[in-house]
Chain A
């Protein structure tokens, strides 16, 4: 049996050493790894902290030689990851799932809520390299919760729009208000969003109303990441987030009554937003 065949049917973690760690804000860090991941923007990896747990994480950067994961300290596993230093080991499986679709030269509006900025930075980076023009709308509770601003500011052909709930930076209010105004001002080929589900639900509605192709990144609890465990399936179609997502067209999401309503926990019980 040749190596390619073995690799194709093997879902096993690859253990990597952390190359460097960047502190984004008090609760967000970015971990860099020297590894040819071969991912596309919007895809995810299963990140393994040996002896603790394994969780799906969006890819925040991948230049073909190194990749990065931006992680927010929100639970017991991420707390333990924050104790790691450069040179420590983490395992990854993947990349898994679907990715954002665009053509060279497209005009794209990105809507990032909170730490959804990381995977959308990855997308913006690749989109402008392909000659796209990007309007990047980023929202957070307040100035301290904004991440990736400096990285976005230095990208050519990226117009940055900031919104905060408290007005401590940029526009005081929601990202969706900026998006709606933007769509009135100029022609946009695609809207792409990553962030809290209720925000994305609103983004999808705005995209539908304006007749613009809208792609959203869905987050669900996962065990395997390769389409077998059944934990991340979406009602009522029963499609799997890890295989048919995480990036899904809003035309599909409109058929999924659970999107914007509930998700399921580790035992499969519905948890309403």
Chain B
């Protein structure tokens, strides 16, 4: 059995699979259940300063090739998140990545300061959700100066409370140059990245009604079809910044996980695969990773990070 543990900016994970933000992330009970199903770490659903309602249903559709969602970042706010995080940290079955979101830099500062004071291991700054554009305008992750400024603000706010807390930025693939955005965030003090957020937005039409299926009309595309884009962008950002990365986007099997790690990811975000393979997908994936690593004589999974020969 290979050693699957990895270190992400000093935080130790038992294996590289982490629950991606927005999937099964509402309650601490669910986080525990996901860890019992083999996840090496958990990312919370994105935490707002105050309560934020998402879009009406339908909010999620699937096909064998992709999923599309426009949940719209529903969340009860940082106060409720505090009690969930406290409950999880009582047992602390795995590292916890707190995803935070806000509509303005000022709110980002406040939510970052509050969350940095909680027992979390990493802050993930979600500036790339494509589903709240009608409410807040173009995502910060799609505009270079915005991405840099929000990173600086969150990093400074977190540092005041917990100087060693890593701050990573979740990047959008829906940009001209993801490396330019990543470099801007790195200049702003980012300790790493999570990529990619969903692609698009896309549109799915019901034929009988001739109407969009999602109530938000458009939604972010995830799932198996977007994996090659995620792998390419992880490679690009890894090469450009050399910072640690959570690679995510359609990662469904252990071999997918190893592939995105070869591209440069240290951790692997798992979301849509919970649908395709069940909640125990984390156990299945780590088993598959082990099989490949053993067969190929690799003793530590960390050895493969960034080893693609281009």
Assess whether A228 is in contact with B24, with CB atoms less than 8 Å apart. yes
Against B, the Cβ 8 Å flags (1 = close, 0 = not) of A255-272 are 000000000101111000
Tell me the nearest residue of chain B to A1, going by C-beta. B64
Closest CB of chain A to B89's CB: distance in Å? 15
Other-chain contact of B215, A1, A46, A53, A236 (Cβ < 8 Å): A53
Other-chain contact of B275, A1, A54, A228, A239 (Cβ < 8 Å): A228
Q: Does A223 contact B (CB under 8 A)?
A: yes
Q: A233-B26, A266-B53 are in contact. Are A238 and B31 (CB under 8 A)?
A: yes
Roughly how many angstroms separate A52 CA and B214 CA in the complex, as a whole number?
10
Other-chain contact of A230, B30, B211, B276 (Cβ < 8 Å): B30
Q: Does A74 contact B (CB under 8 A)?
A: no
- Chain B residues with CB under 8 A of A238: 27, 29-34
- Chain A residues with CB under 8 A of B144: none
Which of B68-76, B127-135, B235-243 is the contact stretch?
Answer: B68-76
Main secondary structure of the interface of B (DSSP, over half): loop
Other-chain contact of A267, B52, B63, B274 (Cβ < 8 Å): B52
Q: Does A166 contact B (CB under 8 A)?
A: no
Q: A52-B56, A268-B75 are in contact. Are A11 and B27 (CB under 8 A)?
A: no
- Chain A residues with CB under 8 A of B45: 230, 268
In this complex, the interface size class of chain B, counting residues with CB under 8 Å from chain A, is 35 or more
- Chain B residues with CB under 8 A of A233: 24, 26-27, 29-30, 33
Roughly how many angstroms separate A243 CA and B33 CA in the complex, as a whole number?
14
- Chain B residues with CB under 8 A of A227: 274-275, 278-279
Assess whether A89 is in contact with B209, with CB atoms less than 8 Å apart. yes
Assess whether B51 is in contact with A267, with CB atoms less than 8 Å apart. yes
Assess whether A224 is in contact with B60, with CB atoms less than 8 Å apart. yes
Which B196-216 residues have a C-beta within 8 angstroms of A? 204, 206, 208-209, 211, 213, 215
Closest CB of chain A to B54's CB: distance in Å? 7
Tell me the nearest residue of chain B to A54, going by C-beta. B57
Closest CB of chain B to A262's CB: distance in Å? 12
Extra pairs beyond A223-B60, A227-B279 (6, CB < 8 Å): A11-B275, A50-B206, A223-B54, A230-B25, A230-B45, A235-B27
User: Could you list some 23 contacts between A and B, CB below 8 A?
Assistant: A9-B63, A10-B62, A13-B58, A15-B208, A46-B57, A50-B209, A51-B215, A54-B57, A55-B57, A223-B59, A226-B62, A226-B275, A227-B278, A227-B279, A230-B45, A233-B27, A238-B31, A266-B53, A267-B76, A268-B27, A268-B74, A268-B76, A268-B80
Closest 3 CB pairs of A and B: A238-B33, A54-B57, A238-B29
